[in-house]
Amino acid sequence: MLQEKLRKIEENIDEHLLEKFFLTSFEDELNFVLDIEACKIKDDEMLTYSIALMNCDDDRDICYNYRKIEDCLSDLINLKATKINIYIHNLYYDFKPFLTCWVDKFNSTPNEDKIETKKEFNGLTRKYEYLNFIETNKDDKNKPSFSYDVLFKKGQLYQATFYTTPRENKKGIEVNQRIIFKDTLKVIPYSLKKASKDFLDLELGKQGLDYEKKRSLKDEFTKEEKFYIYEDVFALKYLVKKLIIDGFHIGNKFVRFDKLTNSSQSLFDYKLTLLDDFYNK
Do residues 63 and 230 lie in contact, with contact meaning Cβ atoms separated by under 8 Å? yes
Is the CB of residue 21 less than 8 Å from the CB of residue 75?
Answer: yes
Question: Measured in Å, how far apart are the chain's first and last C-alpha atoms?
Answer: 41
What SS3 state is found at 202? Answer: coil
- Per-residue model confidence as pLDDT tens digits over 175-224: 899 999 999 999 999 999 999 999 999 999 876 788 778 888 989 999 99
pLDDT digits (tens, 9 = 90+) for 71-80: 999 999 999 9
3 state DSSP class of 206 = coil
C-beta of residue 9 within 8 angstroms of C-beta of residue 223: no
pLDDT at 277: 63
Provide the pairing of β-strand 83-88 with 174-183. Answer: parallel
Regions of the chain with pLDDT less than 70:
112-119, 121-124, 126, 130-142, 207, 270, 274-281
Residues 6+ apart with CB under 8 A from 9: 16, 61, 230, 234
Q: In the beta sheet, which residues pair with residue 62?
A: none
Residue type, 197: K
